[in-house]
Amino acid sequence: MARLPGISRNLNAFLDMIAVSEGTAGIGDDGYNVLVGSTRNKPSLFHGYAAHPGVIVDLGRGLKSSAAGRYQILGRFALAYSRQLGLKDFSPESQDKIAIQLIKECGALDEIEAGKIVRAIYLCRSRWASLPGAGYGQRENSMGRLLVAFKEAQGETA
């Protein structure tokens, strides 16, 4: 479960849902130390939260990625958001703050708080390749699966 205190149950549930969608939930430190391409059966973890690990992983088919952490944040974005938000590391708290900033930039925060999760997922699809309709040519989850994950994380829909 997301660890950032002082945020709503729905926002925590949405963060948990993203981790499920990205395939990081329950791996390592509940996804916070996961490198792209990890699976439950074959986890690839980074050690230490001083900074984004910056590891480039060859995913095959000409795809390479530096995505890391619970929300699979690319290295270049981690650096930019760390500067913007005044973060000093890539700790779980910092990762949560970056994910929340991404959600805000998508205009989805009010939708999440109102329980309009389908709309929030739709608004955030440009930020996470695993969300339905993202269109990045990668595995996308079904809306049904994500709604189940959101509800399992104690989120409430409208």
Specify the amino acid at residue 86.
Answer: G
Length of the chain: 158
Angle ∠(44,78,80) on CA atoms, nearest 5: 160
How far apart CA 97 and CA 118 sit, in angstroms, is: 22
Among residues 22, 105, 111, 152, which one is catalytic?
22
Q: What is the DSSP letter of 47?
A: -
β-partners of residue 57 are 65
Whether 22 is catalytic is yes
Catalytic residues: 22
